[in-house]
Amino acid sequence: MILSNLKTDNIGAVASTLCLLHCISTPFLFVAQVGSATCCNTAPMGWGYIDFFLLIISFFAVNRSSQVTTSNWMKYSLWLNWLLLFLLIVNEKIAWYPINENIVCFPAITLIILHLNNRRYCQRNTNK
């Protein structure tokens, strides 16, 4: 598998960072679009799919990182934060429960920190 040869914690940290930047830049996109065009108040078609694309990448990164970590709490923390991020993104799309959209930043930041911490302190030697 390609992910087994790559540093999945690096991929996970980058995917989480891109997710965070996407979440932060979305309100600015809407403000710019409303200011420039009075006919539409929706995001460009592909903008909403970026959430799920980054979520899929982070799923594989969390999966592989949890397999090679030496710490049980790290494994559970990675999965818990990924699940929280997943539920918040799905809730944002389906609107199950009214939650502030900015709360998505917290699990994204936590995933970045966890991936960086796992990369530095919790790696098992996989070069066999």
- Chunked mean pLDDT (size 10), the chain, 128 residues: 54 74 64 52 65 84 84 90 91 85 82 81 59
> CB count, 10 Å around CB of 54?
23
At which residue do the structure tokens 């979305």 appear?
A: 26
pLDDT of the residue at 82 = 92
How much is the pTM?
Answer: 0.69
pLDDT of the residue at 3 = 45
